[in-house]
Amino acid sequence: MKLIILLFASLFLSCAAPKQAVAPRATIAKGVEVVTMDYTVTKDGQTMPTKIYLLDVQLSERITLVATAVGDSDSSIQPTHQVATAVAPISAQLNAMQANRPDVEVLGGVNADFFHIRSSQMVCGVVYRGGKALKSECDDLTTVFAVLKDGSARCMTNEEYRQCDKSTIAEAVSGRQMLLNDGVAQSSDTRLEPRTAVGVTEDGKRVFILVGDGRRKEYSNGLSYADMAVIFKQLGAYDAINLDGGGSSSFCLKSSKGLFAPANRPSDRSGERSVPNGLAVIRVKK
């Protein structure tokens, strides 16, 4: 996918930066590439570095995305505050999924839903796994990323989710802010934070999963909603949503030891944060 390198190069060169950067890429499966890049953000007239990690996923019969859960168990996701939702690092959720599903190869993943971190840990949005709605209700701020049963993907506004045919949804996680809607940026907010986000092309066949590290001045300062809208637009996304960020942002790949671990630097001092669910890229074995 040489196009993605050219896109990232144009993004970087458009910034007021004194140096150029090449975005290293690695193919981890046919149709799945990992890209890391040095990006430049601007705050108060100053340019600062931000490290970006990206999964570029071409959906096919064998490549798709699924919602993760603690222990790869549907029962870990609770639809109300009455019973606590389980939490675990995304790396642990990916390891559990790989151990539990011998028919697939888990390639990588990120965190997903906002959740009630100081109470029941319940996710704020909707969660679907294997065509089953584990939590189908959401508040008015929720946006939805879904993989449909026909193999395509969608980023949906709250209203689009409410009106869609729920029986067509195979997998879904939720976010909040719509970053791109029909190719148009939806926010000019310039606050810099660690971010996780997902974008989809107009035909629903290509997905971009992005994590931007932040809260480390010399290493990485985060991204704004406006930054992410620009990046997704340059990549070719038509719709994109913001997932949970801050200390939750985690970009996990398989290590040399065969287990998943963060490839980025989560901003919590304790390291990778425990969260209710995530979004995994998988390859179906034949």
- Amino acid 22: pLDDT: 52
Are the CB atoms for 51 and 218 separated by under 8 Å? no
Tokens of 103: 């028919």
- Amino acid 43: pLDDT: 86
- Amino acid 6: pLDDT: 41
Question: What is the per-residue burial (b if ≥16 Cβ within 10 Å, else e) of 142-180?
Answer: bbbbbbbeeebbbbbbbebbeeeeeeebbbbbbbbbbbb
* 85 vs 69: CA distance, rounded Å: 10
Amino acid 11 reads: L
- Strands 63-69 vs 277-284: parallel, antiparallel or unpaired: antiparallel
* 178 vs 193: CA distance, rounded Å: 16
- Amino acid 2: pLDDT: 44
> Model pTM?
0.92
Q: For the segment 152-181, what is each residue's pLDDT rounded down to a tens digit?
A: 999 999 999 999 999 999 999 999 999 999
Residues of the chain with confidence (pLDDT) below 50: 2-21
CA-wise closest residue to 210 among 286, 124, 284, 281: 281
* 266 vs 161: CA distance, rounded Å: 30
